[in-house]
Structure 1
């Protein structure tokens, strides 16, 4: 076969062979792409049952469009040989991977989520796979993962449509022995819950390196599946989290009614586990030393110096974050513990850190006392403690002293930076106080707080006009006016730019100013410039959360979905309680086509960020839960009756219900004005015109989306909302343009 041309496919190499097929790597000469060709063995071409199974595999997989399910291009016959052409995926099977031992917990969960989401789609379409096993799961190589697919579910040869006929005839078995459900092992009728059991068996093997049931003879294996519980995970591998043991046990309950009743339920529990900071770190297996700087306590008479206590915490977080050997939890997440009395061991577990720094501030007239202590979060041991007694002028040297002592105690070197950081001149003490007050007011960006923040920062600059940090923070306040819509005057963008440049003229590495300029580039559609500038911010502050957020948004908007997911994990690891970090992770999942996984994650975080209900409604729309989508849209309307997102949510629902013309009733001039300069909403409006059949307008808005930064061409190709334009002759040219624009980020990724 090697070197032969079958139809328009040239055979290049043999990839593998099994009882039901021989697989070759080939080149599609018509479309110039690699493919995998699977041939039914010659001796089986006249076997009606074998041929039916072969064709069933092609039909079942072809019904499913999912990033984690193999794509079937066609099934055909050539010179008496029947074959199917499918997506060629480089990588290794899960069976090959687990031969070298169990996976890291975080990596196993990541693969489990991908597999569960693929099965959830199959089950919604009425397809039960019936042969879930490690050998039918391909782990994608790096190049393929860039397109958003962690793994590919293969071989739907045993799949059946529910409701068409009995899935398993009485007295017969279908599936691979070690991963069968009890009902399969007994030859009884099996529904989608049989796949849930097999999924659990595969998950078990990922976590332990061994299948849950084994034996020298088939009869012994079958007996175990039906009558015996598998060995406890915790006895197979030390350190198995209790939550994972519970999830696996529930998937593998002997009675179908005691299992999870859908893969959506599995995904909901996996999402809860996946957001644990320690889980995110387990994906890489390369944990750094880690620390959480808890909010310092103000113990001054009258507690009038809370801003000083909060400022001390923030300055120490910033100083320690500049060390690349140290993972430092962001201020947003540690502020959850303000005013709480909690065992540091519990804090360490919740944040996934090995050490905690805590302290207090006491001010009386001109005198200041600051205490700090470093604690091992694993056992509560105090490793170091110190105190400072002095005046405000000396507080900056004490901050440096604490950072130096902490890194010494943790045996890491301070200041291993990508760029050289020159020494900074300490600000005037009174200016520093106004600066702290102004900066901290931006934590809750209401109109009153932002106005007061600007006032405080301007006072700081009146006292010290060379205070770079105050200029940088002021630029951030002006940005907030625009981003919150509280003062939408474009003049504030110009003010933000002016004071940011002033800050950088005084300190070329001033983080807030660098971030402001990056944000402005992003707003103006200079995506490459924005990513380059965001990268520069991370050189001065590796944990700058807004930079990590928006840089990752731009990466996923350029279709680098797997890399974006890695960056989202990094953000969650340093800021595990920030709702926006959870929104980002969920939204990347959505654009990977993992709708059920995204839906489960949105449901976990939506109470914290109700404005993101539009995304939950969108996820419900994609999985076909239109009643839930409508409930989410109504809730959003109740919360923000004058907002512009609830009409967008309702428009998506109308489109899914086939009311294509009614969609445009929601797309008024206010929404179009908002969407024209906001690349996510621009694409949504393009989708509405596509659903309504107004193709010219759809392409106009699609072109605009690409122009201002939405180059997510992989998503454009599969988004069902664009179905009416995906076969238009103009779409191919548009896709080429979107891809070319996205590729401009290659050097930054």
Structure 2
């Protein structure tokens, strides 16, 4: 058959339009399932299964459309039907109406689903954000109005500096960076932002930098009605940047009728170029990559060489050693940790009321296994900056077994910065360790609204299903886990609980081969889950000897509960030199 004849035959048999109708119908079905599955709390694997089935059926449907035809007399082979132009046009018209009608319904459902998810997110944020604040503000990312649009690091940096400045005021609720900056480059109205973040005001503006001259425009907006309460434009030399920040902060607090109460941390750099390098280094750390942290370390060292009296530069250097070592291994621990501690201590020496510096020092002491010093410095950070979401969220993770306290702090961090997805995950993990499974699941589902495909989520949902004695549900979840470590780790628990000894032994051997040298705490966890407490204690001792950074968290895992009454458990806890008010069972 020639190509033209083949195409005409496809048209006569309505194969193309039948295929298009099938695709549109499939899309509609997927939209319906995406609404019904979460509404009835069904397994998300149902949607995946439906899509696979629809994909398999599609080529079968095309062949069926070629071979058969629907007629007033029933289903007949197309080759046995005499071509009739009137019937052909009638069927063609029907398929057109079906495709257009189904497409409109699918689009409508897509819009409904998007609105539903947005409403769910807003409602969850509203529930998690119950505390009433008479004065609250979100500092938005200032726009870069420089001619070449190449000073984003500077506009972002100034915005964040203003945010941190205002966050030091105890009476003022300041939404922190992650939530505020999520509206960057979006045309979201002030009233909408106010509702989503539960703030009474937003501070927005723009920055235009050319050489050593700078123009900053700032305006304070009431989110109740979108009215401008105050605005100002500053044309100054870059050397006066700190004075401008002070003036803006003073105007904002005056408008909100809040006193700074003498608690401002006025630590200025004496060198404009040093401050510029500081902002560049800070911008690089926001990339959250190994390359970014290496470049940031170089930039901040240059800044310190120009001005060694600017405390935030030392605090940033401490943070680079802390996160850079823990997340990216940019230096060995025995080198990075002492350097980080020294930098944090220098920052505190220059600015004794910097909560951020105390928090960095606490985190570094935790890595060094100097837990008493870590707790002391974290408490100081909270005392100085009780409304800093980063500090509060960090403190929630440094709980030393006191999970109830961790939950309290995590909820406060969510109130201060409701769009930080990690806070919901950490809250869910805390609930899981207390066996408060419904609350854990709710927190993880909130997390999934923001990041439905994030790794480790399915591992945690599998652990919840396993704790609910739902083996098949646990398997469905772990099959979707893409993270190598947590995929194998989770399957170990599931297959052992299911009594599948051959498979669980195979998985356990694989885990030991891949991860035992780096994760002794988790090896101990698996042995404890299997009921081999002798081996579990052996591996906990190894974790103590190696100063495993996971251990302080791992000791709260449910698998270890049967070991709490053993005298060796107390010996493990005592050997770690933990703070006196730790929450571990003795």
**TM-score with structure 2 setting the length:** 0.70
CA drift at 1:422: 6.1
Equivalent of 1:345 in 183, 188, 191:
191
Maintained 8 Å contact 1:705/1:711:
no
| 1:691 has 2:529 as partner | yes
Q: Does 2:492 correspond to 1:651? A: yes
Structure 1: state its 5+ residue gaps. Answer: 1-119, 121-267, 677-681
Bigger proportion of residues as helix: 2
Shift of 1:597: 2.7
User: SS where residue 337 of structure 1 aligns?
Assistant: coil
1:325 equivalent in structure 2? 171
Partner residue, 1:590? 432
Question: Of 279, 282, 307, which residue of structure 1 is paired with 2:127?
Answer: 279
Alignment partners' CA distance in 1, 2:536 and 2:275 = 52
Match of 1:650, SS? helix
- Asked whether the 8 Å contact 1:711–1:742 carries over to 2, the reply is no
Change (3 A) 1:463 1:728: closer
Number of residue equivalences: 458
**Contact 1:558/1:713 (<8 A) preserved:** no
Aligned to 1:149: none
Q: 1:288 deviation in Å?
A: 4.3
The question of 1:537 aligning with 2:381 is answered yes
1:581 is matched with which residue: 394, 411, 423? Answer: 423
- Give, in angstroms, the shift of residue 619 of structure 1: 2.1
Q: TM-score, normalised by structure 1?
A: 0.56
Who is 2:253 aligned against? 407
* Match in the other structure for 2:464: 619
Rounded Cα–Cα distance in structure 1 between residues aligned with 2:287 and 2:387: 20
Distance 1:519 1:303, change over 3 A: same
Relative to 1, partners in 2 of residues 1:488 and 1:636: Cα closer, same or farther, differing over 3 Å?
Answer: farther
The 5-angstrom pairing of residues 590-739 of structure 1 reads 590-606=432-448, 607=451, 610-613=454-457, 614-637=459-482, 640-641=483-484, 644-658=485-499, 659=501, 661-662=505-506, 664-668=508-512, 670-676=514-520, 682=521, 684-702=522-540, 719=558, 721-722=559-560, 725=562, 730=567
Q: Distance in 2 between matches of 1:508 and 1:450?
A: 26
* 1:307 paired residue number: 153
CA distance in 1 between counterparts of 2:301 and 2:576 reads 45
In the other structure, the counterpart of 2:358 is 514
Give 1:442 shift: 1.0
* Contact 1:711 1:739 (C-alpha < 8 Å) held by counterparts: no
Gap regions ≥5 residues in structure 2? 1-40, 42-115
Q: CA RMSD in A?
A: 3.4
How far off its partner does 1:686 sit? 2.4
Aligned to 1:443: 286
Residue 392 of structure 1, CA deviation: 0.5
Distance 1:470 1:296 in 2: 22
In 2, are the aligned partners of 1:528 and 1:744 still within 8 Å (CA)?
Answer: no
1:240-264 superposed Cα distances (whole Å, 9 cap, x missing partner):
xxxxxxxxxxxxxxxxxxxxxxxxx
**1:297 is aligned to 2:143:** yes
Structure 1 residues 451 and 728, CA gap change in structure 2 (3 angstroms): closer
Distance 1:488 1:649 in 2: 31
Deviations 1:560-589 (A, max 9, x none): 41x322211110011111111111211121
Q: CA deviation at 1:735?
A: 10
Query: What is the DSSP-based 3-state SS (H/G/I as helix, E as strand, rest coil) of the residue aligned with 1:303?
Result: coil
C-alpha change, 1:731 and 1:648, in structure 2 (3 Å) is same
Q: CA deviation at 1:412?
A: 1.2
Q: What is the rounded CA distance, in whole Å, between the counterparts of 1:740 and 1:472 in structure 2? A: 27
* Aligned equivalent of 2:311: 468
Q: Distance in 2 between matches of 1:409 and 1:303?
A: 31
Which whole-Å CA distance do the structure 1 matches of 2:570 and 2:144 have between them?
Answer: 62
